[in-house]
């Protein structure tokens, strides 16, 4: 047999696998968001290796110095290096992004699965609860609960979790209602599978994609909310380095030391943008795989 009659399999592989590789590749927005989050993650995991100064060390010989080679972000009214405090603040703000959304996501997902599958009076009662909660702005509810419990990160997590799980439960409820009408759910019931097995082994994995995308977006909102509460004195407390606290420290010096608030504010914008871009890229990637 001649060489011309034999089609080389290797020649067909790049063309055949190219579409598949394209589907598995995260979009550019997701890659950019992931790069931003990776940078902040490095700052949060090892700030002592990146920050040039102690974030709590006072230096009365360097009070309110403008940005320079020695202090790229300048110094504050106690001579503390703003760059070091901004880097260390990433540890607190990423903690807020995770813990302020993790517990609402877990509890809301479980509640949404059970409510969506049960239906009936349970679903009707939940819809009435949602109608009551959504009439009051989310931020107002959180601030009211924190004001009652007292300032601090733990009370802030409790307040956000007490309100935020409703959103996750409503989203998961809608997905479970749609999924339980599929043929595979009916087949599981015919085969005698228990309700919990159908919910958590079959319905939940197929309904989790929108929840995962929303969780990424909610982390960016958690950073904004945590920084807002820190600015108001209801979140992280001084001398802890947190972006909202840093902005509050510099608000009285905007005309003379603008860098005290501008650079932490920029970090908030970049952090929120990182989660939003990564969530947008993840949504696009999941749609390609569907």
**What is the pLDDT, as a whole number, of residue 38?**
95
Residue 6 has pLDDT above 90, yes or no: no
Residue with the bigger pLDDT between 40 and 181: it is: 40
pLDDT digits (tens, 9 = 90+) for 16-58: 444 555 556 778 888 999 999 999 999 999 999 999 999 999 9
**What is the pLDDT, as a whole number, of residue 183?**
85
pLDDT (average), residues 124-128:
92
How far apart are alpha carbons 117 and 173 in whole angstroms? 8
28-56+70-289 CATH fold = MetI-like fold (1.10.3720)
**What is the pLDDT, as a whole number, of residue 119?**
85
Our measurement of the distance from residue 216's CA atom to the centroid of its chain's CA atoms, rounded to an integer in Å, reads 4
Residue 264 has pLDDT above 90, yes or no: yes
Instruction: Give the domain ranges of the chain.
Output: 28-56+70-289
pLDDT (average), residues 202-214:
88
Beta bridge partners of 81: 75
Residue 9 has pLDDT above 60, yes or no: no
Q: Which of 16-20, 81-85, 117-121 is modeled with the greatest confidence?
A: 81-85
Tell which phi-psi region holds residue 135, choosing left (phi > 0), alpha (psi between -120 and 50) or beta. alpha
The pair of three-digit structure tokens given for residue 201, joined into one six-digit string: 């082994």
Residue with the bigger pLDDT between 184 and 8: it is: 184
Q: Which residue, chain included where needed, has tokens 């202090």?
A: 71
SS3 224: helix
**What is the pLDDT, as a whole number, of residue 37?**
94
Nearest residue to 260 (alpha-carbon basis) of 233, 231, 236: 231
Predicted confidence band of residue 11 (pLDDT cuts 50, 70, 90): very low
Predicted confidence band of residue 10 (pLDDT cuts 50, 70, 90): very low
Are the CB atoms for 96 and 226 separated by under 8 Å? yes
Beta bridge partners of 75: 81
- Of 23-32, 104-113, 124-133, 155-164, minimum mean pLDDT range: 23-32
Mean pLDDT of the chain: 87
Tell me the backbone φ, ψ of residue 66, rounded to 5 degrees.
-70, 165
Nearest residue to 112 (alpha-carbon basis) of 215, 193, 2, 16: 215
**What is the pLDDT, as a whole number, of residue 94?**
94
């Amino acid at each position: 047999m001649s060489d011309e009659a034999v089609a080389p399999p290797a020649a067909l592989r790049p063309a055949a696998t190219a579409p598949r590789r394209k589907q598995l590749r995260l979009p550019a927005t997701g890659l950019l968001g992931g790069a931003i989050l990776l940078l902040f993650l490095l700052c949060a995991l090892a700030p002592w290796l990146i920050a040039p100064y102690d974030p709590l060390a006072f230096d009365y010989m360097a009070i309110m110095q403008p940005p320079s080679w020695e202090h790229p972000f300048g110094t504050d009214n106690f001579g503390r290096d703003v760059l070091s405090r901004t880097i260390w603040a990433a540890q607190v703000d990423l903690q807020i992004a995770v813990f302020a959304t993790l517990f609402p996501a877990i509890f809301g997902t479980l509640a949404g699965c059970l409510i969506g599958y049960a239906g009936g009076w349970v679903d009707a009662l939940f819809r009435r609860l949602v109608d009551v909660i959504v009439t009051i702005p989310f931020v107002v509810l959180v601030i009211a609960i924190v004001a009652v419990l007292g300032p601090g990160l733990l009370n802030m997590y409790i307040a956000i979790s007490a309100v935020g799980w409703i959103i996750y439960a409503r989203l998961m409820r809608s997905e479970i209602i749609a999924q339980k009408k599929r043929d595979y759910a009916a087949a599981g019931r015919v085969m005698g599978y228990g309700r919990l097995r159908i919910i958590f082994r079959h319905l939940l994995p197929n309904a989790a994609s929108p929840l995962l995308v929303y969780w990424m977006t909610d982390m960016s909102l958690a950073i904004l909310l945590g920084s807002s509460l820190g600015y108001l004195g209801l979140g992280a407390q001084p001398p802890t380095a947190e972006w909202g606290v840093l902005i509050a420290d510099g608000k009285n010096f905007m005309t003379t030391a603008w860098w005290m608030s501008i650079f932490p504010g920029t970090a908030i914008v970049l952090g929120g943008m990182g989660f939003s871009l990564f969530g947008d890229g993840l949504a696009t990637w999941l749609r390609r795989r569907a």
